[in-house]
Each structure stands twice: as structure tokens, then as C-alpha cells.
Structure 1
Amino acid sequence: MEYITIASVPTELTANQFSLVYNAFSLCIAAMFAAALFFFNAKSQVGRKYQVAVIISGVVVSIAGYHYFRIFNSWEAAYALQGSTYLATEELFNDAYRYVDWLLTVPLLLIEAVAVLALSKEVARPLLIKLATAAVLMIGTGYVGEVADSITTRAIWGAVSTLPFLYILFILWTELSQAVERQDRRVKTLLNGMRFLLLFSWGVYPIAYLLPELGIAGATATVGVQVGYTIADLLAKPVFGLLVFSIARVKTQIDEAQVADQRPVTDTNGNRAEDLVGSTR
């Protein structure tokens, strides 16, 4: 099979194969921009100290929506319908947009996961530095493997990229666990769901990455990689953001209830209950 593009896209696809990827990109663009509208408008529904996390969610899906728009256009330009099949054109399919997107959005995803907890600066800052650094290393080394010419080189860099990924999971399940345990039961349940969603969605990426190494090549590998990455992005960005928003809402409700419990009780004239009791003695 001859390859002529940056992303090693095959020279020929069936109409169904081309349309599956085309429609997956289209769905993802709509989901990202719809999620952005929701997050930017929903930030007023959470407390001030949680708004940063919701705003970051909106920024993440906005960045992803833009890059998927570019990927969509590049895919469309890379093929032309000839009879019942799609043949590669002279236009290159630039899949590097994905890695530019991940380089920006993956650290932000980890930042919003920490930001929604509203931890003290002394606790949050070292966590953010560790997570962001590991995320950049994971994406950078993964890209080297993605554009490699041989399966062996791809496998080596894929293994290297796995190390910072495992370190991120270690941080999320150890150091962050201390903060999770101090949360309300409802928040704890949502936070555990958020961590497992991150694990599950990020687990899709290496599966798609490994398809060529598993002997799945040509059009099947191309479609599998593109659709797999797209599904993973949908889970890791808008769905993950919805979980972050849910956590922020619950924590806001808890904070409001605590404030209400501490507020002195007054009558209809604004007199405090303890003052009224004192006046009757």
C-alpha cells in the first residue's frame, strides 16, 4: 500500500470508510462548540472559587473545536471521490493538529481537575507543576513515535510516552487522594468518577496508537486511529468537563448550606432570635 501524506493516510478509501471518519469529525466539532457555549454560560451557576475550573473547561473544548475544524478541512481536502471510492489528492492530511491540540488541552484538563477542588496554593501549586510537566512530556514523546517511519521506532517512543502517563495516574491516585478523602460523600463519588473517566478515555489513545503495531494497517488502521482518537477526545473533554461542572455545583451547594447554617436567625423585622430571647427576660 502506497502512502503519500504526513499522517500515512492510504491512497484509497471506500465511501463508507471516508464517511465514517468525516462524520466523526463533524460530530466532534459540534460537541466541542456546544460544550463551550454551555461552560461559558454555566460558570455563573457555581461559586466564585470554582469558576476557574468551569472556564478552563470552556477553553479546552474551544481549543479542541478549532483544531477539529482544521482536521476536518484537511481530511476533506486529502481525498476526492472517484466513482465509488475516495482517492488521495495532492493535498496532505495534517494530523499534527491533534498533537498541537493535546499539547495545549491535556495540561489544562489536569489543571481543571485540581482547580475544581479549590485547594490551597501550597497544596495545588506543586501538584499542577508535576501534572503539567508530565503531560507535556507524554504528548511530546508520543508525537515523535506517531510520525516515526518504522514500527520499532514507534513502539520505543510509545513506551517512553507511557512513563509520564503512568506518573500522572500515580499523582491522581496517591497525592490527590488525600484531598479527595476530605471531600463530601457526593463530591467524593464524582471525583472518583472523574478520575476513572480520565483513565478510561486516555486508555483509548494508546489502543489507537498501537493499531499499526498489531498488524492492522492500511485503510482499516487509518479509520480506526482517527475514530478512536475522536471518541477519546469526546470523553476526555466535553464529558470530563461536565463532571467538573457537576463537582463545582455540588461544592457550591455545600458551601451555601454551611453559610446558611452559620447565619443568625432573624424575625420578619430583622431582629436576631438571640436578641429577642434576651429582651423577654
Structure 2
Amino acid sequence: MEELLLDPSDYVGVSFWIISAAMVAATFFFWVERDRAVGKWKTSLTVAAMVTGIAAIHYFYMRDVWAQTGESPTVFRYVDWLLTVPLQIVEFYLILAAIAVVGAGLFWRLLAASIIMLVAGYLGEVNADNSSILWGLFVLGSAAWVYIIYEIFAGEASKINASAGTVSSKKAFNALRIIVTVGWAIYPLGYIYGYAGGGNIDLLNIIYNLADFVNKIAFGVVIWAAATSDDANQLAKA
């Protein structure tokens, strides 16, 4: 059997390997740093480690699919997202629950919107040969994403953060919603570049890989910074 090697000119393959290593490193870092956090922030760091850990497992499979077939690992990617994106929604809820009594309805609304966004994206990509389905589902997924943005900037989540947040929780919440707004915007850009005008699967995967690097690792770093801050520690010990 011919040994599979990383082709230096295969920039998509290189990106898969880089992200694989980065996710493993981030998972180890968040888990070790969990001991520096106190109270409910420990749970937040645990979730951050779960997000990057799950992503690392799927990236090992995705890079093999790419290396062996040269095809986009769509199924593995969306399985990863269906597990990790809801966990990121959990992070918003955990931050708010650490500072105030938060109704379960907020969590379920955000979770439902994230699942609609992902299922619409998956069904659109696996039906890419039908342009009406492809772009109709793109609009549906984008609408769910816009709802999440509304909720964290102007809805109940935003109001709880503004009225009851601590210095550390506000910094974390504000940084996370910037990631969800700006960072998550990279995904629809990949979708558009991947399928519009004949599409470019290489570019789609590079953009998706970049987005995962930013949105999973940076997302966790924001949680880590808040969880290990002096403000968080003093509040938990009070």
C-alpha cells in the first residue's frame, strides 16, 4: 500500500494538518488551565476543552478523507459542527447563569436556532447540484444565524449581561458575540465561494478550516481569559 504523505503544494491538506494540531494543543491547554479557574468558570473551561477536543477528533478524519480522495469531508464537518456549535451556545448560557437566574427558554431558543442553521447548511451542501435548494437553505440558515445575533445583541441574553454582568463576564460575553458575528461570518463566505459560479472546493475547505481555527480556539481563549481573571476569582471567593 502506498504511504500517504503531505504534499507541500497541497495547501488544503496543510491547513487540515495545522488545524488538527492546533485543536489538540488548545484542548490540552484549556483542560490544564481549568485548575486555575474557580466556581462555575471551571465548567465553562471544561466546555471549551470539549469543543476543541471534539473538533480535533473530526479533523483527524477530515484530513484523511482529503488526503485519500481529494473530496470535501462534508459529513464529518457537519457532524463536528452539530456537536460543537450547540456547546458554544451552552457557553453563552453558562456565562449568564453564573451571574443571574436565567430562564431555560433562552437556552432552548438559541439552541434551536443553531441547529436550524447547521441542518440547513448541511442539506444545502449535499444538494449542491440543485441551485434552488442550495441557496434556499442558505437563506434559511443565514436567517437562523441573524436571530442568534439579535438575541445576543438586543434580546434577553444581551439585557441580562448588561444588567447583571460582572467585569469579567461582560468582557467574555462581548468578545464572544463579536466572534459569533464576525467570526461566524466566515462560514457563509466559504459557502458562497465554494458553490457560487461553479464553486471552488479547495477554497471552501481552506475558509472553513480558518473559520474553525478562529471560532473554536479563539472562543475558548476568551472563556479562559475571563475564567482566570482576578475579577472572576475574587467574585467566586466572596
**Normalised by the shorter chain, which TM-score bucket?**
0.7 to 0.9
Aligned with 2:156 (options 170, 175, 187) = 175
Aligned with 1:237 (options 212, 216, 224) = 216
1:157 equivalent in structure 2: 137
Aligned with 1:57 (options 15, 24, 48) = 48
1:214 equivalent in structure 2: 196
Q: What is the distance in 1 between the residues matched to 2:194 and 2:30?
A: 37
Give SS of 2:228's match: helix
2:93 equivalent in structure 1: 114
Identity over aligned pairs, percent: 27
Which TM-score applies when normalising by structure 2?
0.88
Q: What is the distance in 2 between the residues matched to 1:253 and 1:48?
A: 8
CA contact (8 A) 2:24 2:52 kept: yes
1:149-191, Cα deviation, whole Å (9 max, x unpaired): 2223211111111121111111111211122213234542342
More helix by share: 2
Amino acid at match of 2:85: V
CA contact (8 A) 1:40 1:58 kept: yes
CA contact (8 A) 1:67 1:97 kept: yes
Aligned with 2:180 (options 198, 202, 208) = 198
2:232 equivalent in structure 1: 252
Aligned CA RMSD, in angstroms, stands at: 2.1
Larger radius of gyration: 1
Deviation of residue 75 (structure 1)? 0.6
Q: What is the distance in 2 between the residues matched to 1:143 and 1:93?
A: 12
1:33-60, Cα deviation, whole Å (9 max, x unpaired): 1011011111111112111111011011
1:21 equivalent in structure 2: 12
Q: What is the distance in 2 between the residues matched to 1:200 and 1:93?
A: 24
Q: How many pairs does the alignment contain? A: 228
2:63 equivalent in structure 1: 72
Deviation of residue 254 (structure 1)? 3.4
Q: What is the distance in 2 between the residues matched to 1:193 and 1:93?
A: 31
**Segments of 4+ moved more than 3 angstroms:** 117-122, 184-187
Which TM-score applies when normalising by structure 1?
0.75
**Unaligned residue ranges in structure 1 (runs of 5+):** 1-14, 80-91, 260-281
